[in-house]
Chain A
Amino acid sequence: MKVYLDNGATTMTDPQVSDTMAKYFTEVYGNASSLHSFGKSAKEALDISRRIIADSFNADSREIIFTSGGTESDNLAIKGVARALKDKGNHIITSKIEHPAVLNSCKSLEKEGFRITYLDVDENAFIDLNQLKESITAETILVTLMHANNEVGTIQPIRRIGQICKDNNIIFHTDAVQSYTKVDIDTKKIPVDLISISSHKIHGPKGVGALYIKKGTPLTKLSDGGSHEFDVRAGTENISGIVGFAKSVDLSTPEHIKLQNRLKDQLIDGIQRSIPDTVLNGPRDNRLCSNINISFRYIEGESLLMHLDMKEIAVSTGSACSSKKLEPSHVLLAMGIRPEHAHGSIRFTISRFTTKEEIDYTIDTLKPIVEKLRAISPLK
């Protein structure tokens, strides 16, 4: 049995999505900026897709910009706002557990003279709203905090974060790449100015994403070029990818979330029942339906990952040994998890295509592997 439990990294493109995309390579291949019928057909597909994404946020079509993915959306939001507001202030607030697309955007703004506050998180990866409030100064122009964390699935209270930003007249950006289609954001109810999303995490094609930009939000474009995407993001639109992205949004239903929540509970409970000395990293509640992150004490994550891979189960790990930098996951460390437990952490991320049988197989396969690795561990 081949079991893919790394949907946090990327997902299978839904066959209905790739089927929908096919004709946008060979039939509707016009440039959406062209005036002829080829261009108009492409423009029409672009408009419909934009409408679908906008509806998912209860937003206006003109508030959606298509990009090349979550990374570009984060860069555009953070650098775009910072540079547009640099005369107003130079302070940005983020957290220690953000995705590198956010953290490294902030790092590069530090070099441009911006000052960044990296908020701490508690043992379940939640930020402290009081620390957020206390960090705000007259110079603060932007708060960028992720909606759901990619490693441990923690869902931040973005309504309250947004309200704090709104009360202080500060722009609020959230990276919702992991939570999109799993936790709703109604932009009419939740005060948020920018939202990054990505297609390949929700069974759409890779290399497509979007940025929601609330009307009136100041933003300097990153790449110079034509006036595509309301003059915010230059470059000929990736129509097939955008159509596929919209289709993947159309195909996601609340039923999928219920299914994943059931499978998540099955996997957490199954592992904790059959294998001693395991710890769930991150919260049990306010956790993404797709994320399970467990530390297996006394063993190292890469070894466990490789044994699972030999049994055709694909997972990921927060272990240092698996990273090029040889440092344990910055998220787990920020949560105060001891390095030796971080080393033994495995992330299982499920999708709407995951089955109960796959979860059973994973639990059954894990047990003897963990026992074998513990038998040779000097820590046990």
Chain B
Amino acid sequence: MMDDYNEKVIDNFRNPKNMGSMDNPDAEGEVGNPTCGDIMKVFLKIDNNIIKDIKVKTFGCVAAIATSSKMTELALGKTLEEAKDLTRDMVAKELGGLPAQKMHCSNLSVEALHKAIDNYQKKHMTKEHTTD
């Protein structure tokens, strides 16, 4: 199983970027559950529709940690629309590929990102409505 990870994946696992929590995030998104063995929680700072800061907390295997880290690098500095266009495949591709059985359960961080953005946009939509 271990040989299936390429060096890029191992490198991102070994030195993950943007890991940890954030004070007063503008949005949060969490996916996964303890039973399946992978949980990711994303925190965002958003300014003028742009992701100014991103942090992620990950419970999971080597692939889960590596993809979480890579996702944060891809999302940082993007507009919310650009970030919503990010896919699992793009993250996996940036890492030079993942073992087939890790594509689904462990490569969830993009979903956590999208959930955070959705939460943010819902919050803002309701705000707009109340001012109407």
Do the two shown chains form a genuine complex with each other?
yes
User: B58-66, B75-83, B113-121: which one contacts chain A?
Assistant: B58-66
Q: How far is the CA of A88 from the CA of B56 in the complex (A)?
A: 62
Binds B, one of A191-199, A211-219, A302-310, A350-358: A302-310
Residue of B nearest to A342 (CB): B37
Contact of B14 among A310, A322, A328, A378 (CB under 8 A): A310
The CA of A328 and the CA of B1, in the complex, are separated in Å by 15
Question: Which of A298, A310, A320, A324 contacts B37 (CB under 8 A)?
Answer: A320
- Verify if B16 is at the interface (C-beta below 8 Å from A): yes
Given the interface contacts A321-B106, A324-B1, does A300 sit within 8 Å of B61 by beta carbon?
yes
CA gap between A216 and B63 in the complex, in Å: 54
Say yes or no for B70: interface residue by CB 8 A criterion. no
Q: Does A35 contact B (CB under 8 A)?
A: no
Mark each residue of chain B from 39 to 70: 1 if its CB lies under 8 Å from any CB of chain A, else 0. 11100000000000000111111111100000
Interface size on B, as a range, is 20 to 34
Contacts of A376 in B (CB 8 A): 16, 19-20, 56-58, 65
**A376 to B13 CA separation, bound complex (whole angstroms):** 12
Assess whether A339 is interfacial by the CB under 8 Å rule: yes
Decide: B60 and A303 in contact? CB cutoff 8 A. yes
Contact B61 A324 (CB under 8 A): no
Smallest Cβ distance from A355 to chain B, in angstroms?
Answer: 25
Q: A319 in the interface, Cβ–Cβ < 8 Å?
A: yes
Q: How far is the CB of B28 from chain A (nearest CB, A)?
A: 10
Judge whether A302 and B30 touch: CB under 8 Å: no
Q: Considering the chains assembled together, what is the distance between the CA atoms of A323 and B102 in angstroms?
A: 11
**Which residues in B have their C-beta under 8 angstroms from that of A306?**
2, 10, 13, 62
The verdict on A302 contacting B16 (CB below 8 Å), with A309-B2, A339-B34 known, is no
Nearest CB of A to B88, in Å: 16
Is A375's beta carbon under 8 Å from chain B?
A: yes
* Contact between chains at A379 and B37 (CB < 8 Å): no
**Chain A residues positioned under 8 Å from B38 (CB to CB):** 300, 321
Q: B residues within 8 A CB of A379?
A: 34, 39, 59
Q: Which residues of A contact B59 (CB under 8 A)?
A: 298-300, 377-379
Query: Closest approach, in angstroms, between the C-beta of A319 and any C-beta of chain B?
Result: 7
Chain B residues contacting A377 (CB-CB under 8 Å) are 57-59
Cα(A309)–Cα(B2), bound, Å: 10
- Would A319 and B2 be within 8 Å (CB), given that A326-B101, A379-B59 are in contact? no
Given A375-B20, A379-B34, 14 new contacts (CB under 8 A): A300-B37, A300-B60, A303-B61, A303-B62, A319-B37, A321-B61, A322-B1, A326-B105, A339-B36, A340-B35, A340-B37, A375-B19, A376-B19, A379-B39
